[in-house]
A and B are shown apart, each in its own frame.
Chain A
Amino acid sequence: MNVAATPTLPRIEPAMLAQLLRGKASGVALVLPATAFLAVFFVWPVLQMIVLSVTQQRVEGVLIEGWTLDNYLRLFCNDLYFRVLLRTLRLAAASSVVAVLLAYPLAIAIARGGPGLARLVTITLVAPLLVNVVVRSYGWSAILNNAGALAYVLKATGLSASPPALLYTEWAVLIACVHVYLPFVVMPIATAIGRIDPSVEEAARVAGASRMMTFLRVTFPLSLPGLAVGASLAFSLTAAAYVMPQILGGNFSPLLGTLIEQQVLTLSDWPFGAAISTLLIIVVLAVNLVFIGLLSRRFSRWTGGAK
Chain B
Amino acid sequence: MKINISDAQIRGAHVQLEGLSKVYSGGTVGVDAIDLAVAPGEILALLGPSGCGKTTTLRMIAGLITPSAGEILIDGTSIVSLPVHRRNLGMLFQNYALFPHMSVLDNVAFGLSMRGVAKAEIAERSREALRLVQLEALADRLPKALSGGQQQRVALARAIVYRPRLLLLDEPLGALDKKLRESMQLELRQLCAQLGLTMVLVTHDQEEALTLADRIAVMRGGRIEQVGLGREVYEHPISAFVANFIGTSNLVDARIVSRDGDVTVLETDQGQSIHSTTRHGFALGDAVTVSIRPEHVTLAPSGASASGPNSLEGLVTQAVFKGQNLAIHLRVPGGADFVCTIPVAMTGSAVPAAGQIWRMTWPADRTIVVSRA
Contacts and interface: CB of A to CB of B under 8 A. Distances in A.
Contacts of A203: 91, 93, 97-99, 155, 158
A302 B84 contact: no
Q: Give the interface size bracket for B toward A.
A: 20 to 34
B114 A208 contact: yes
A222 B155 CA distance: 18
Interface in B211-238: none
Contacts of B87: 206
A221 B85 CA distance: 20
Given A205-B64, A205-B85, A213-B114, A302 B93 contact: no
Interface stretch (B125-133, B139-147, B299-307): B139-147
Contacts of B2: none
Interface string B66-93: 0000000000000000011111111101
A221 to B, nearest CB: 5
Contacts of A202: 62, 64, 84, 91, 93, 97
Contacts of A75: none
B70 to A, nearest CB: 20
> Chain A interface secondary structure, helix, strand, loop or mixed?
helix
A200 interface: yes
A217 interface: yes
Residue among B63, B94, B97, B158 having the largest count of chain A Cβ atoms under 10 Å: B97
Interface in A237-252: none
B111 interface: yes
Contacts of B88: 208
A15 to B, nearest CB: 39
Contacts of B83: 210
Nearest to A208: B114
A199 B95 contact: yes
A207 interface: yes
Interface in B93-144: 93-95, 97-101, 110-111, 114-115, 140-142, 144
Contact of A207 (B94, B95, B111): B111
A197 B115 CA distance: 24
B241 interface: no
A138 interface: no
A200 B91 contact: no
Contacts, number: 81
B142 A302 contact: yes
Contacts of A301: 101, 142
Interface residues of A, number: 22
B45 interface: no
Interface string A208-223: 1110010001100110
Contacts of A210: 83, 85
Contacts of B44: none
Contacts of B91: 202-203, 206
A199 B97 contact: yes
A209 to B, nearest CB: 5
Contacts of A206: 62-64, 84-85, 87, 89-91, 159, 168
B162 A207 contact: yes
Contact of A209 (B89, B93, B114, B142): B114
Contacts of A197: 95, 97
Nearest to B86: A208
Given A306-B142, A306-B144, A207 B64 contact: no
Given A199-B93, A301-B101, A207 B110 contact: yes
B249 to A, nearest CB: 35
Contacts of A302: 100-101, 142, 144
Contacts of B93: 199, 202-203
B12 to A, nearest CB: 17
A222 B62 CA distance: 24
Given A222-B100, A222-B101, A207 B158 contact: yes
A217 B85 CA distance: 14
Nearest to B90: A206
A299 interface: yes
A126 interface: no
A217 B97 contact: no
A200 B97 contact: yes
Nearest to A198: B97
Interface of B: 62-64, 83-91, 93-95, 97-101, 110-111, 114-115, 140-142, 144-145, 155, 158-159, 162, 168
12 contacts: A199-B95, A200-B98, A203-B155, A206-B89, A206-B168, A208-B86, A209-B110, A210-B83, A221-B101, A222-B100, A301-B101, A306-B144
Given A199-B93, A202-B97, A206-B91, 14 more contacts: A200-B100, A203-B98, A203-B158, A205-B85, A207-B158, A208-B111, A208-B115, A209-B114, A213-B114, A217-B99, A301-B101, A302-B101, A306-B141, A306-B145
Question: What 5 A-B pairs are tightest by C-beta distance, nearest first?
Answer: A306-B145, A208-B114, A207-B111, A203-B97, A199-B97
